[in-house]
Structure 1
């Protein structure tokens, strides 16, 4: 197979992977509490937990989505007692978002689960070297930047 055909197959495989991941993410799960959470909720908790204290704008930038979408998600997480939102004492116009103790439990549980899952994947990928993974990361970053550029162009024309 020539380079172009292999690249075409790679792109089709990436799209298929995206579809499989989207299906996988649509299944609610328990993450150390009785609450069933969707991955989008847990990944939002991860962003908040990784930042320790953050704002809607920061989360939107990290997740590449709108502040409105983040606000809706944060409201859901508040109702589930996973995050709190409060005024920044140093900047009254800014609202800070932090994990609650229950949110921290979910955050820690998910981090541990990811680590175990990634280790299981790694066992099945022993034939690949660290350099192979680095090349794939580079390739995906190029594709992601190009795709993000197209998205940004579309947003600016709306």
Structure 2
């Protein structure tokens, strides 16, 4: 197989995979108990995470959104019962975001979907093949970081 053919196949695969993953996420969201959310709101909940309470600016930076856009999204997520604002214990001027019980439930469900996807992606690969995949993924992440 020629290098040009490899390039075209990989490009086609990346586009198809990206579109397919978004479609699966949107479809699963629509048919779930969390169908009051948009895909962007679901990704905001994922970025907020269950583990470290971040500020709106920190979450906005992760999602490549302006703080104003993230504030508006946070307000919607609070009204829908997924997120709450909490005051920092050490500096009461700082407001952090935390997931409610409903937000944590969605977070876990979304992570479970991603875990199934990764297991399927790596199925049947040996350690050397996984090492190559990790290198390719790092290259892709570096590209995204450079252009965002």
Matched, 1:54 2:54: yes
4+ residue segments displaced more than 4 Å: none
* Offset, 1:90: 4.0
Q: TM-score, normalised by structure 2?
A: 0.74
SS of the residue corresponding to residue 53 of structure 1 reads coil
| Map of 1:35 onto structure 2 | 34
CA RMSD across the alignment = 2.8
May I ask how many residue pairs the two structures share in their alignment? 144
Gaps of 5+ in 2: none
* Offset, 1:146: 4.2
Listed one character per residue, the Cα deviations across residues 7-37 of structure 1 (whole Å, up to 9, x for unaligned) are: 3443343234333334344433466xx3313
Listed as ranges, the matches of 1:46-125 within 5 Å are 46-88=46-88, 90-123=90-123
More strand by proportion, 1 or 2?
1
Gaps of 5+ in 1: 149-158
SS of the residue corresponding to residue 98 of structure 1 reads strand
Distance 1:115 1:84 in 2: 26
Q: Is the 8 A contact 1:25 1:40 kept in 2?
A: no
* Offset, 1:144: 1.9
Listed one character per residue, the Cα deviations across residues 68-126 of structure 1 (whole Å, up to 9, x for unaligned) are: 22122211211111111144354454321111122122222322332233323333xx2
- CA 1:25 to 1:114, structure 2 compared with 1: closer, same or farther past 3 Å? closer
Matched, 1:135 2:135: yes
SS of the residue corresponding to residue 147 of structure 2 reads helix
Distance 1:116 1:56 in 2: 29
Q: Is the 8 A contact 2:88 2:96 kept in 1?
A: yes
